[in-house]
Structure 1
Amino acid sequence: MPLPSAYCPNYYSIDDILATQERSPSKFLLNVPKMGKLNPSEGEIDLKAGTTLELPTWLVLEICTGRQPIVMPDLPKIYKESYREILKADACATFKTRFRQLMDLADNSISDPSVQQRLDTLERRLFRDSYNARTKLNAWLIESGATIEAANMVVNHKKRKRIDVEDLIN
């Protein structure tokens, strides 16, 4: 059984032409005569400068790289800022967000069993550890008779006084 050959595009193949029809938004920089059919919503014969159309990416690459570019390619929606944030939401980003929510739950909930039932094993362990740490901190703050005092260096530190600019001039 022969192995299938690697993909080699054929210039005249209809399938290859259709496979490369990915479109990208582009803005025309110049008036283009007799190309109004590309924008059927206008109904004009010529394409005017400033018209935005979605053209095949291969075509945009060809007509924007000449001496005088005809179009300016725009970033597709997938690469715009709002979509980049969505794409950045990998497991680490999702875990960081979930971790903050778990810490808030541990600080604010009073051992509500329904909260813990909705958590998976890792989240339950993090919740329990943070709840215990918060409880120990509160106990130390309440029961501790020791007061926190400023260090001698901080107490004895004298700040320099501001010199008034008017005093220097007079």
Structure 2
Amino acid sequence: MNKPSYYPNYYSIDDVIISQERIPCRVLQNVYGLGFLDSTEKSEHLEANQQLELPLWYLLQQDERNPNFQLIVPEIFTAAYKEIYKADASYVELGKLNKFYYELGMYLCKFEAGGDLAGMLFETAQERIKGIKDMCNNVSSENLTDNKNLEYMERVLYESGSKNLKMFSDWLQEKSVNIKSTELVVNHRKRKRDAMENDDGFSQSSQRSSI
């Protein structure tokens, strides 16, 4: 699994997938010859105020001086869902809402006029990270294949945390074994030294007796 790309990255497969996400938008003016962009319409043209869905990468690239489309922030990033996240973010199935919830949200921040989306993303992540930490400590063997609760970046954090915890546990176990081995060696050498000293003492005593 590739690491998440927190900024646009031309060579990142994850970033490419995120930018392919289809986002609702509104046509601002009549656009001729592009009716095929809306699969639900048979017209050759797009009319003003018509709504359709376009890939995020196209909406990011359109000319801001003369835009043809106005992006509509998806409902899962609006104030209505903010109240749901506030109630108990840990139980929200972010993976089901959108597999790349956080990274898509970061892209959409530039289109969100109120400026609340960035704060909502931060607060949601801050609340949910506690549960991910508990999972890493207590449920390291959990299968996340069908788990819709975690989105992509959270899965990466979980897998990284579980891996590091296992490495730390293995290190502690190895250190414990090494300590025990060292103690056995020290005790063996001590007994050997005591035996040698006893032998020397017995030999000297025998020599004095013979004299």
TM-score (norm 2): 0.35
Greater helix content:
2
